[in-house]
Structure 1
Amino acid sequence: MATEDRAVVEAIKASGESTLKRAKAKAKETINQFFNVPLDIAVTGRTGSGKSTFVNRILGLRDDDDGAAPTGVTETTMERTMYEHPTMPNVKIWDLPGIGSPNFKANKYLKDVKFKTYDFFIILNSERFTENDIMLAKEIRKQKKHFYFVRSKIDNDIYSEQMKAGFNEQRVLDTIRKYCLIKLNELGNSEVFLISSVDLEKYDFEKLQNTLIDDLPFHKQSALLQAWPVCSAAALEKKIKFFKKLIWAASLATAGIAAVPAPGTSVAGEAAIAIFFLLRCYYAFGLDDRSLKRLSEKVNMPLLEYRAKSKFANAIQNKAVTTIQACAAAVTISTIADLLSLIPGVGSAVSAGLTFGSTQYFLTEGLNELANTAREIRKVAGLDTVY
C-alpha cells in the first residue's frame, strides 16, 4: 500500500540509513540494545548517609521489601552488593561500602570495589562532603568516568529549620548547596544535587536524572530512562517521547526480522518484540501493581481502578506477566493474540505475519493509550494539574 510505503520510507529516514536492508539491520541492533544493554550504577558515601535507602528508591522498593538493600543506624554495607532492578534486569545498582576510614586511599578503594564495573558513581552524603569524598572524586575523574555528588536527607534539614522564625525553604536549600560547593571548590565546576529519598518529586531528583541522561551515550540512556522512577510530569513525558522515537525500530524489527529480545525466548519471535516493547512502556510509566499501590498509599486514594479503564494496560496486567525477567518472560501466543485483537483489523496478523504498517499502528495506539493512562492517574492523584 502507498500509505505503508510512505511509512517505511519514514522509518528508513529515522534509522539514518540509506536502504531498507541497512535500516532493518539498524533496527535489529537498536531493539536488541533497547532490551538488553547493561547499566551499572555505583552508589557510595559515608556510613549513615542513606545510601541503601537511595538504592531502594531507584529500584522502586521500600526499605522492608523483599530484595531491598538493608538499612539501619549502623553500617549495613560491609562489601559491595549488587541489586538487580525488579523490572529491568539489565540495570544493576551497586551499594558500595562506606568510605571514611583513617587509612582510606581512593585508588585502593576503587580497586577493591572493582572500579571498571560501573558506568558512573553517585557519591552521597547527608551532612558535609569530606576530604575522602574529594579524593575519591579526583581518582574517578583521573580514570575518566563520571561522578555525581548527592546531598541526601534534605527533608530532615527542612523539618529542623521550618519551626524557626523567618523560615524560608528556598533560602535553606541555597545555604546547603552553597556550603557543599565551598567544600568541593577544589574540584572545579562540580555540581551538587539535593534530594530526599522520602519524596523523590521534590528538590533535585529530576535534575539528577536529566544530568545523567545528558552524560550517558544513547544506548545507556535507554536503560536509565526505562528503570528510573517517574518523579514528575516532565519525567513521564521524557519517557514517552523516548519510546515514541523507537517505534520505527520496533516496527521494522517485528516485521520480518528474527530479533529475539533475549536468549532463550521461546515465543513467536516477531510478534513478541512488539509485546515486549509495550511491556516496557507499562513498567516504565509506572502502571504495574507495585508502583500504583505505592502511589495510592502516598496520595491516600485508590488508583488501580483507573488503570482498568485502559484496554491495553488491563490486557497486559491480566494476560502478561508481573515482572520481566531478562525480557524473556512467558508471553504466549494467546497473550499476543489478545493484545493484537484490541486493534480492529490487526488481530489476524498473528497467524498471517505482521507487516510494518500493522505493527507501527499497533505500537502507536498501545503506547499512546498507556501514556494517557499514566497521565490521567497522575492528574487524579493531584500530582499534575495539567498534562
Structure 2
Amino acid sequence: MDSSFDIITDEEVQEVRSALEDGDLCKATERISEYLEEIENAPLNIAITGESGTGKSTFVNAIRGMDDDEEGSARTGVVETTMKPTPYTHQQYPNVTVWDLPGTGTPHFAAADYLESVQFRQYDFFIILSSERFKLNDIVLAKEIQAMNKKFYFVRSKVDSDLHASQVRRKKTYNEEAILKEIRDNCINNLSDGGIAKPQVFLLSCLELDKYDFHEMQNTLEKELPEHKKHIFLISLPNISLPILEKKREALRKEIWKLSTLSCAVATVPIPGLSVAVDVGILVKAMRNYQSAFGLDEQSLEKLANKCGKDVSELRSVIKSPLVVQEINKELVLKLLSKGAGGALMLAEYAASNIPVLGSMAAGGISFGTTYWMLLGFLKEIAEDAVRVLTKALESDV
C-alpha cells in the first residue's frame, strides 16, 4: 500500500484522535483543515543579496521561473538597480516572496546596519551571490546573519561565463569538471580563510538554472527548511528538470491523506448532500493546484513553448491524460465521482484498519477512499504528462 500514509505525524494523530474519542467531530475536522491551511499558505521569504553586478535580479527572476524581460520581473542592469529591499511575489504562489536586496559593495557598507536596514527578521534564509571570489563584505555579512540565527547559503553565479571564457582560452586542454572544481575550491578556501566554518558553495548559472549545483542547493534547502515551509518551497520551484517534477509529485502525494481524511470526517455528519459538496470542493481545488504546480495550465504551456521556441500544439500533443487538458470544474469532478466507487471500496477497509485517525470513522471510509483514489490517480497522470511535456520542450529540433 502507498507509503504516503506514513506522513501523518504523532502529534497530528494524537490531536485528531483525541477529538474523535471525545466525540468532537467538528474539532477533528477543524484541526485537519488547519494543517492543510498551514501548509498551503505558509509564507516563504527568500532574501537575495551580494555585491552589485553579481546577478541578483536575474537570480530573483530565474527562481520564480521568469525571464528578465517579462512583466513583473526584477529590473536588471550592468549597474546597481536595487536601492532598497524590493519584494517580488511568485506569480502562482503569492505567499512566496523573493526579495532583491540592495548591493553590499559600497564604501560605507556595515553588515549589522545593512541587516537592520533590510529588516532581516522577515526572511527565512539568505542567498549571498558572488560572480567572482567572495569578498570581505560577503564574509562579514555571513557572520552577522549567523549571529542572528538565520540561515545563509553562498551561490557563485555566472559560472557559464567562466566556462565559456576557459573554453575559448584553453581549446586543447579544456575540462569542464576540472574548472568547476577549481572555482568551487577557490571559493571555499577564500571563505574558510575569512573565518567561515565548513562553507558550502553552490555553483549556478541563472541563465541555465537546471545545470551545475542547482539540484544540490534545492536538496539542501529542502532538508533545512521547517516542515511547513518545505512544501511550498518545493511546489513553487520552476519546472526546469525531471528531478524537480519528481520532487513535486512526492510532496503533493504526501498531502493526499489529509484531504481524504477531511472528506471522511465530513461524510460522517448526517446532513444530506454535505459530503458530496465537500468532496467536490476538495477535489476541484486539489486538481487545479496539481495542474498549476506542474505547469500544465494553458498559460504555463504557452510560456514554456515560447521559452523553448516550440509551438504550444507540440507540447499539447504529448499529453495523454484527457483530464489534464480539460477545464477542472465542479461538473467534471461530479462525473469522476460517479465512477470512483470501485477504487474507494478497495481502500475503505484498509483505511479504517490501518490509519489510526480513521478507526472510529469507518462510516466515512468510502468517502476517504473515493477522494484518495481520485487524487492519487490524477496526480500520477498529470506528473507523467509533465515529464512528457518537459522532455518535448527540451528536445532539440536539429
Q: TM-score, normalised by structure 2?
A: 0.80
Match of 1:330 in 2: none
Q: In the superposition, relative to structure 1, how do residues 13 and 127 fare at CA in structure 2: closer, same or farther (>3 Å)?
A: closer
Alignment of 1:166-205 (within 5 A): 166-185=173-192, 186-205=195-214
Q: Secondary structure at the match of 1:187?
A: coil
Q: Which has the higher helix share?
A: 2
- How many Å separate the matches in 1 of 2:91 and 2:186? 37
Instruction: Tell me which structure has the larger Cα radius of gyration.
Output: 2
2:385 counterpart residue number: 373
Local SS of the residue matching 2:87: strand
Q: CA deviation at 1:340?
A: 4.0
Q: Distance in 1 between matches of 2:280 and 2:9?
A: 21
In structure 2, relative to structure 1, the CA distance for the partners of 1:280 and 1:157 (3 Å cut) is: same
- Structure 1 residues 137-146 or 244-253, which shifts more? 244-253
Which residue does the alignment assign to 1:59? 64
Change beyond 3 A, Cα 1:65–1:169: same
The alpha-carbon distance between structure 1 residues 127 and 369, as it changes in their structure 2 partners (threshold 3 A), is: same
Q: Secondary structure at the match of 1:311?
A: coil
2:138 equivalent to 1:126: no
Counterpart secondary structure, 1:313: coil
Match of 1:229 among 238, 242, 247: 238
Partner residue of 2:103 out of 92, 98, 102: 98
Give the alignment partner of residue 215 of structure 2, picking from 206, 211, 224: 206
User: What is the CA–CA distance in structure 1 between the aligned matches of 2:182 and 2:81, rounded to whole Å?
Assistant: 30
Q: Tell me, in whole angstroms, the C-alpha distance in 2 between the residues paired with 1:383 and 1:209.
A: 24
2:376 to 338, 354, 364: 364
Matched, 1:292 2:286: no
Provide the rounded CA distance (Å) in 1 between the counterparts of 2:201 and 2:91: 28
CA distance in 1, matches of 2:395, 2:38: 33
2:330 aligns with 336
- For residues 383 and 280 of structure 1, what CA distance do their matches in structure 2 show? 27
Partner in structure 2 of residue 311 of structure 1: 322
Is the CA contact 1:31–1:253 (under 8 Å) kept in the aligned structure 2?
no
Q: 1:342-383: per-residue Cα shift (whole Å, max 9, x none)?
A: 455249xxxxx9922211122112111111111222333457
Alignment of 1:34 onto 2:39: yes
Note the 1:197-276 alignment, pairs <5 A. 197-256=206-265, 271-276=280-285
Give per-residue Cα distances to partners, 1:51-101, cap 9 Å, x unaligned: 111101111111111111111112110110111111001111111001011
Partner of 1:151: 156
SS in 2 for 1:93: strand
Identity of aligned residues (%): 41
Residue identity matched to 1:120: F
For the residue of structure 2 that corresponds to 1:123, the secondary structure is strand
Question: What's the CA shift for 1:15?
Answer: 5.0
**Which letter does structure 2 place at the counterpart of 1:371?**
A
Does the 8 Å contact 2:319/2:385 carry over to 1?
no
- Partners of 1:32 and 1:159 in 2: CA distance: 46
The alignment covers a number of residue pairs equal to 346
Given residue 29 of structure 1, which amino acid in structure 2 is its aligned partner? Answer: E
With over 3 angstroms needed to count, the CA separation of the structure-2 counterparts of 1:274 and 1:255, relative to structure 1, is farther
C-alpha distance in 1 between matches for 2:318 and 2:325: 7
Label 1:13 to 1:141 Cα distance change in 2 as closer, same or farther (>3 A). closer
Contact preservation (8 Å) 1:11, 1:249: no
What is the CA-CA distance between 1:21 and the residue it aligns to? 4.4
**Aligned 8 A contact 1:254 1:274 in 2:** no
Gaps of 5+ in 1: 1-5, 259-267, 321-334, 348-352
Please state how far the C-alpha of 1:230 moved relative to its aligned partner: 2.5
The verdict on how the C-alpha distance between 1:340 and 1:58 changes in structure 2, with shifts beyond 3 A counting, is: farther
1:80 to 69, 78, 85: 85
Matched residue of 2:127: which SS? Answer: strand
Q: Which runs of 5+ in 2 are unaligned?
A: 21-27, 268-276, 342-363
**Greater displacement, 50-59 / 357-366:** 357-366
One-letter amino acid of the counterpart of residue 363, structure 1: L
Q: 2:55 aligns with which of 50, 61, 68?
A: 50
Q: Do 1:307 and 1:314's aligned partners in 2 also have CA atoms closer than 8 Å?
A: no
**CA 1:287/1:278 → structure 2, altered by over 3 Å: closer, same or farther?**
same
For the Cα contact (< 8 Å) 1:205–1:231, is it kept in 2? no
Superposition deviation, residue 134 in structure 1: 0.5
Whether the 8 Å contact between 1:50 and 1:152 is mirrored in structure 2 is yes
C-alpha separation in 1, matches of 2:189 and 2:44 = 32
With structure 1 as the length reference, what TM-score do the two structures score? 0.82
Q: What does the per-residue CA deviation read over 1:125-173, in whole Å, with 9 as the maximum and x for residues that have no partner?
A: 1112110110110000001110000011111111111122310111111
1:20 to partner: Cα distance = 8.2
Query: Is the CA contact 1:15–1:27 (under 8 Å) kept in the aligned structure 2?
Result: no
Q: Which moved more, 1:186-195 or 1:335-344?
A: 335-344
SS in 2 for 1:44: strand
Q: Deviations over 1:163-197 (max 9, x none)?
A: 22310111111111111111101201111100111
* Match among 367, 377, 387 for residue 355 of structure 1: 367
Asked if the contact 1:201–1:231 (Cα under 8 Å) also holds between the matched residues in 2, the reply is yes
Letter of the aligned partner of 2:117 in structure 1? D
